[in-house]
Copies of this chain bind each other. A is one copy, B any other.
Amino acid sequence: MSDPKTSPSRRAFLQGAATGALTLGATAASAQTPDPLITEKQPWATGLGDGVDATPYGLPIQYEGDVIRRNVPWLTADPISSINFTPIHALDGTITPQGCAFERHHSGAIELRKEDYRLMVNGDVGQQLIFSYADLERFPRENHVYFCECAANTGMEWAGAQLNGAQFTHGMIHNMEYSGVPLKTLLEEAGYDTAADPTGKWVYVEGADASSNGRSIPMEKALEDCLVAFKANGEALRKEHGYPVRLVVPGWEGNMWVKWLRRIEVMDHPVESREETSKYTDTLADGTARKWTWVMDAKSVVTSPSPQSPITHGKGPLVITGLAWTGHGKITRVDVSKDGGMSWETARLAAEPGNKSLVRFYLDTEWDGEEMFLQSRAMDETGYVQPTKTQLREVRGLNSVYHNNCIQTWWVKPNGEAENVEVS
């Protein structure tokens, strides 16, 4: 065990209190003057609260009314085909509650009852099958925590530092524990020979909403780890996340995680649908478009401090925290820079990194009250290092929308406020 006289937190806090250098008002004051909040009557301690019949299904307390999904009206022509953002600046840990997990719709979130749900498996299979929801519940199922990131996450950063907040620059992501049936199991059930060479084979998946949002997935991936999922964080998928069934395509762009999944067709070619030609391709520096960029590369962002989560306590002890992830497997390391990438410190990972799931990192530090150019960079088990914006633009140019995994910079000012900026 550590000696309290030399432990970093004690040294930092008590020295700060002694010198008055910190703004830890309550701590510094407690030894000298009574705190009116504890010497005066505390109304919450003198009456009764709500009974257990008050909230059969609970919502956040009113004081957390700002911790919500937000959309940016000018970003799209209509909220029906648009996106809202997870309030990652205000969350901690790694699990995203369904209630504030980002949404992306192409024709709005539909209501589809379990009783009316059907999933067809057709095409190059031994026997075309149609499953009801109740059928799906009879197959062996798995549970995994995976992140789902929209390909367009951070997409506004190609042209510059445009959106002022981690929620808006990086909030097209959520991370949930999914329960479902492996896609491989359903293909086997339909007589597809999953032991055969998958090369050149594809599945085409589509949803029951008006957009249908069809996407082609190589058979290798379909058999590797895709899940036909019906629960997230233990409970039924929310309507806006594809109730009652969505496809989970771990580590791959969110658009392929087809919601209200209604059909899986085995084919010997990709469909080259609208969603994988005019959309979800990457415009390169020379003007050509790159297709089939499915995997979400390693990425990270500091969630606090950040523009929506400024430092309000002045200099002294500061927890810098954020999220890291990679579609290639596991994160191995996250570094944090306070000076725009000139020097780096290795952050502490809050838990053993999982496969294709969010990792929380912390840098427990002291703030001297001077400006910082905060950055984080993630590394994954393939040896890949998250690139700078400059490095990414050299290959990709300025006209892309998707797959921007650049290092993000927050300019933290001496007053504690933060701003989205670019460093050269």
- A-side interface residues toward B, CB under 8 Å? 1-4, 7, 9-10, 13-14, 24-27, 29-31, 35, 37-38, 42, 44-64, 67-71, 73, 78-80, 82-84, 90-100, 103-105, 107-114, 116, 118, 120, 126-132, 134-135, 137-144, 176-179, 185, 188-189, 191-195, 208-210, 212, 223, 230-231, 233-236, 238-240, 243, 260, 312-313, 316-319, 348, 350-351, 360, 362, 364
Contact B44 A69 (CB under 8 A): no
Given contacts A50-B240, A141-B362, 19 further A-B contacts (CB under 8 A): A1-B195, A2-B194, A4-B194, A7-B188, A9-B140, A27-B132, A44-B110, A44-B260, A49-B108, A49-B109, A52-B71, A53-B73, A54-B109, A56-B84, A58-B238, A61-B236, A93-B143, A94-B143, A143-B350
Residues on B with beta carbons closer than 8 Å to the beta carbon of A90: 235
Residues on B with beta carbons closer than 8 Å to the beta carbon of A56: 68-70, 84
Residues on B with beta carbons closer than 8 Å to the beta carbon of A193: 4
Contact A210 B45 (CB under 8 A): yes
Contact A313 B188 (CB under 8 A): no
Give A80 to B238 CA distance when docked, in angstroms: 31
Contact B235 A64 (CB under 8 A): yes
Contact B118 A38 (CB under 8 A): yes
Listed by A's residue number, 23 A-B pairs whose Cβ atoms lie within 8 Å are A4-B188, A24-B132, A31-B127, A35-B130, A38-B130, A45-B209, A45-B210, A48-B107, A48-B108, A49-B110, A51-B79, A51-B80, A53-B84, A57-B59, A60-B236, A61-B236, A63-B114, A92-B141, A92-B231, A95-B177, A96-B234, A97-B234, A140-B348
